[in-house]
Structure 1
Amino acid sequence: MTDQVQHIPLAARRRTHVLNALSRDGVVRVSELMDELGVAPVTLRRDLAQMEREGLLVRVHGGAVPAGGHTKSTGAARAASPDDDATVTGSIAVLVPSLNYYWPGVIRGMEVAAEKNGMKVLLRGASYELQDERPVLERLVLRDDVRGVIVAPNTETIHAQDVIQWLAACGKPSVLVERDGVLLPEGTPVESVTTDHALGAMLAARHLAALGHRKVGLMLSRFSPTSRKIAAGWQAACEELGLTPTDHFEQMLPDRSSPDFSAAVDATLDMALRTGITGLLVHSDPEAMAFVDLALTRGISIPDDLSIIAYDDEVAQLFTPALTAVSPPRGAVGEAAVDLLLRRIADPTRPVQRVTLNPRLNVRGSTAPPRSGSVPPGAGSS
């Protein structure tokens, strides 16, 4: 009981001291507060984080400034919004599941937006196999220079919800990128920037239908969090286009590194030939290229016998034939995530925002109207 009684006035004294210093000087520094209050830096950072959550101040590198960015004319740095002319200092911690393929485009967008606002990107990659990203995130947010966090958590693990809850309670603002999340128990959505992947699938299905394809299929990457959204959009588009369950199918592919991958592609091609499928949407680019390679090896013409659309458009345009592809706005997603985070830093009380960006369909050489009056090579074989 004695410890509790002593702790309350001490915390209150620190709080009063910080607010008085902000009012007087327009800035407080952790190094100076340590000497003035005689407490450890971790205690001061915890105090400042709590006061920031209450909207009393905004943390900056090594200290804090008043909420709203108003400082006295002492030359002290202040927190700036993305529309402000002042320079924001510090780092944005970024954790994504991969540092290659899809994510470099997103990261470049983040770096461009961060540099415009005087910030740096502190980047970490966590593989899809990592079950719990919290230890990595904990190391990131403990850094004094980190002002906020942008995360693409693995939503397929038992720890997924724990990560979302931890982010909300870590004391630093966060934005999810290419992921959706909610806080329990209320189920309140958290701040995020995503691509409308369901729309991307709809664009692909509508393109195939406009070319005259009436039997189509969707191939999905088994372990991608994006797959569910693509599947939802595909299903909605097929209903919109009046395709019956026998006119379209959906199938998961094993991982590309799996020894079963080639056999699964071959089996899908067998089914396409047997059932008259003439158009496929394949997620993602490497899987789509594998379909084209194996189809050509079997004497199936692309696009005359089988039209193929890739989903991601990372390298689809470099292939031969250049692949028609759904292209998420990767750079714009990264820029929007940084913009959203900086606005949250500048105004912790603003309403939560969820930004959704549209992909586009780039039509190239891998799609064409289905060949009429002819039977593809090997049709009817198993």
Structure 2
Amino acid sequence: MRESAAERHARLLDLVRERGTVRVAELAGLLGVSPVTARRDAEALASRGLLDRVHGQVSWPRAAPGAGPAGPGAAEGLVLGLLAPSATYYFAEVIRGAHEAAARAGARLVLRVSDYRPEEDRARVEGLLAAGAEGVLVAPGWRGPEDRLAYGDWLAGLPVPAVLLERRAEPGSPLDGLDRVASDHAHGVLLALRHLLGLGHATPLLVARGDSPTALAVRAGYAEALAVLGLERPRPVIDSVPAEADPEGFERAVRALHDAVRSGLASAALVHNDVDAIEIVQRLAPLGVRVPQDLALIAYDDEVAALADTPLTAVAPPKREVGRHATELLVERLTGGADEEAAGRHVSLLPRLRVRASCGAS
């Protein structure tokens, strides 16, 4: 089976972590890939802050200045495992926050990437334990509720402390008793809708994918926000899909939004995620719908929203803080900072709204 980019990135990170510093010119041979691929991978990981790149070499990043609540050296010698569904886009910042918190505490962080294959999560966590992990941070590769039900309960039976990252368990399930740290996406959606309503727009539409826990949380948050604000749903959520994977499905989403604007049904929309939002704006322009003149638009994720031709206002989940808080909680469990009988914690961190030009801001 061909190795995915996520798996290759995880190997590269493991390699640099073990060696400390590696010349970019040596990476191709060590990874068994072309020089162009090795250089591109190194640049991508460095741009996310997961590696330091200077003078033709990459190094494991130094810890950020200042000590967190765990205190410097509190976990000296501890090995922490982290399972993430991806090492890029959204989860790059989660990983970075976890790495910084582990380094501040004197712990070593070992990363595995599932590439959104939940059926492999258990084996990858077992690999982390075999590598010496004394506690684990786990963001399962779930895509929908069926994955959570089919590939979740085993986590509650791990022999080491575990913290669930950016995921919510089925209420009442064994997994619901684990510590977890996650973004409050319902709050983020409410921020977006309140902002658009405050600008004088009628009920905003939602354009969203349905292929990840974040996308599903945004959809649920939209329904909750409408209820809180006393609004009626103007029409069903417009289903979005990745343009490269399903061009026809993506075009249907663009056309549905175009028709809603042209008919006067809507003048504002929230779009999950940044990439879809940027591509939708680009596709709407030749159809005669301009952002922000005809449509005020807010993206959800704030990974690349600021880089659009018209910088996009975006909801920014606290991704880095999620990684940091989860790691500090795990270190606290492992170092005796929390009593074994202490209540578990479900920590929700609030997203922020970053206002840019796509809603008419200067």
Native 8 Å contact 1:215 1:248 kept in 2:
no
State which of 353, 358, 361 in structure 2 corresponds to 1:366. Answer: 358
- Residue 353 of structure 1: CA displacement? 0.7
1:166 aligned onto 2:145:
no
The one-letter code matched in structure 2 to 1:281 is: L
Distance in 2 (alpha carbons) for counterparts of 1:151 and 1:185: 17
Q: Which residue pairs with 2:330 in the alignment?
A: 341
Distance in 2 (alpha carbons) for counterparts of 1:306 and 1:271: 10
Superposed, 1:110-121 pairs within 5 Å as: 110-121=98-109
Over 3 Å counting, the alpha-carbon distance change for 1:335 and 1:185 in structure 2 is closer
1:280 aligned onto 2:280:
no
Q: Which residue pairs with 2:283 in the alignment?
A: 294
1:313 aligned onto 2:305:
no
- What SS is found at the alignment partner of 1:133? helix
Distance in 2 (alpha carbons) for counterparts of 1:118 and 1:83: 9
Which region of structure 1 is more displaced relative to structure 2, 275-284 or 323-332?
A: 275-284
Q: Which residue pairs with 2:53 in the alignment?
A: none
Q: Which runs of 5+ in 2 are unaligned?
A: 1-68
1:350 aligned onto 2:342:
yes
Distance in 2 (alpha carbons) for counterparts of 1:359 and 1:254: 24
Native 8 Å contact 1:90 1:120 kept in 2:
yes
Over 3 Å counting, the alpha-carbon distance change for 1:276 and 1:333 in structure 2 is same
Q: C-alpha deviations, 1:175-215, integer Å up to 9, x for none?
A: 01000125866674321000000000000111110001114
Native 8 Å contact 1:221 1:252 kept in 2:
yes
Which region of structure 1 is more displaced relative to structure 2, 145-154 or 351-360?
A: 145-154
Q: C-alpha deviations, 1:42-86, integer Å up to 9, x for none?
A: xxxxxxxxxxxxxxxxxxxxxxxxxxxxxxxxxxxxxxx924754
Q: Which residue pairs with 1:88 in the alignment?
A: 76
Native 8 Å contact 1:214 1:243 kept in 2:
no
1:328 aligned onto 2:317:
yes
Greater share of helix: 2
Superposed, 1:29-178 pairs within 5 Å as: 82-83=70-71, 86-143=74-131, 145-155=132-142, 156=144, 158=146, 160-161=148-149, 163-178=151-166
Distance in 2 (alpha carbons) for counterparts of 1:349 and 1:83: 22
Percent of aligned positions with the same letter in both sequences? Answer: 33
Q: How many residues align?
A: 287
Native 8 Å contact 1:209 1:241 kept in 2:
no
Q: Please report the RMSD computed on the Cα atoms of aligned residues, expressed in angstroms.
A: 2.3
Native 8 Å contact 1:126 1:133 kept in 2:
yes
Distance in 1 (alpha carbons) for counterparts of 2:224 and 2:75: 46
- TM superposition score normalised by structure 1: 0.70
Native 8 Å contact 1:222 1:255 kept in 2:
no
- Residue 314 of structure 1: CA displacement? 0.5
Which region of structure 1 is more displaced relative to structure 2, 207-216 or 268-277?
A: 268-277
State which of 193, 200, 214 in structure 2 corresponds to 1:212. Answer: 200
- What SS is found at the alignment partner of 1:146? coil
Over 3 Å counting, the alpha-carbon distance change for 1:128 and 1:112 in structure 2 is same
Which region of structure 1 is more displaced relative to structure 2, 227-236 or 199-208?
A: 227-236
Over 3 Å counting, the alpha-carbon distance change for 1:98 and 1:185 in structure 2 is closer
Distance in 1 (alpha carbons) for counterparts of 2:172 and 2:231: 38
Q: Which runs of 5+ in 1 are unaligned?
A: 1-80, 370-382
Native 8 Å contact 1:132 1:159 kept in 2:
no
Distance in 1 (alpha carbons) for counterparts of 2:333 and 2:75: 16
Q: Which residue pairs with 1:202 in the alignment?
A: 190
